Amino acid sequence: MTTSWWLYDHPNPHAPVRANGIRFHGYPQRQTKVRLIVVHTAENTPDIIGEDGGAEAVARYQARVERPSSYHLLVDSDSAVPMLPDQAVAFGARGANADGWHLSFATRAHLWPTKPAWWADQALELAAAEAGPRAKRWGIPLRRLTRGQIADRRTAGFAAHADTEAVFGTPGRRSDPGSDFDWDDFLDRITRPAPGPAPDLMETLMATELVDAHEQLADATEAQAAAAWMPHVARARAQAGAEPSAASDFQWAIRIVRGEARLLDAYNAIVDAA
Ligand SMILES: [Zn+2]
């Protein structure tokens, strides 16, 4: 039977058998409520060619690593891999495990400034979608904690592994998620409303009398999917210095949805056109 948690479905032969009968680095049941959402980078080689296998590669690694190491969730540019249930204790950071929830990006801490913009964009979006509802459920404010706040063992918030290690372990031993990790962008994405369908376009499509019902439905579905891509395209176009245009955003978004252009190709084309 699979559980949908990677480390339960892939027992680690180097870990002890836990109370739930599974070998993994961690404990099946936390005793303390979550105070810290701890952000990491996994320090793997990121995968930016084709399908992103970064998170999956780190997941496989954690299922056989000897030293105690585990996260709750791994994120790359196209997937979020649940490693352990939220109520389990992961071994993510010294001093921040009993009351920590551990989220890790499948990249290296020093690579944020040089990695393709689309990678960070998509990975941050996925991470925000996972961390946001949890923060809300656990009453965790959307703020990055200082080392002093981490040390008080009371203040709730988001924490860098570098900071929890500095407080509870050895200062300087860890740097993740990196000094260039964009905390403001990450936390902003949690508060930003999810992109919805573009109402005018939907209305226009639904009002087209010449299109039969099946086509309308297909178009509406496509338009809805495209609407979700529009903020990404708008950001790419803005970065490229293009004039703001919802129509252009939508055209590019449709191409992405139809598989005619990946976001990176679209971005490059936008830069060429701008
Ligand atoms: Zn870490």
**pLDDT tens digit string along 90-131?**
999 999 999 999 999 999 999 999 989 999 999 999 999 999
For 247, which DSSP code?
H
What is the DSSP secondary-structure string of 146-177?
PHHHHHTT---EEEEHHHHHHHHS-TTS--TT
Residues 132 and 243 in one domain: no
Point out the domain boundary residue: 173, 191, 209: 191
Residues 74 and 207 in one domain: no
What is d(CA 201, CA 198) in angstroms, rounded to the nearest whole number?
6
202 has a pLDDT exceeding 90: no
Whose CA is closest to 83, among 101, 70, 67? 70
User: Are 176 and 43 contacting, i.e. CB atoms less than 8 angstroms apart?
Assistant: yes
Distance 139 CA to ligand 1 centre (A): 23
> Which is it for the CA torsion 180, 110, 187, 36, positive or negative?
negative
**Full-model pTM:** 0.71
Are 154 and 220 members of one domain?
no
Domain that holds residue 238: 199-273
Q: Is residue 159 part of a domain?
A: yes
Bond preceding residue 193 cis, omega within 30 of 0? no
75, 118: one domain: yes
Is 114 contained in some domain? yes
Q: From the CA of 67, how far away is ligand 1's center (Å)?
A: 14
The CATH number of the domain where 183 resides is what?
3.40.80.10
Q: Which of 191, 207, 235 is the last residue of a domain?
A: 191
Give the residue among 99, 54, 111 at the shortest CA–CA distance from 77.
Answer: 54
Same domain, 27 and 63: yes
Q: In this predicted model, what pLDDT tens digit does every residue of 25-80 receive, in sequence order?
A: 999 999 999 999 999 999 988 887 888 899 999 999 999 999 999 999 999 999 99
Q: How far is the CA of 9 from the centre of ligand 1 (A)?
A: 23
Q: Give how many domains the chain has, as a whole number.
A: 2
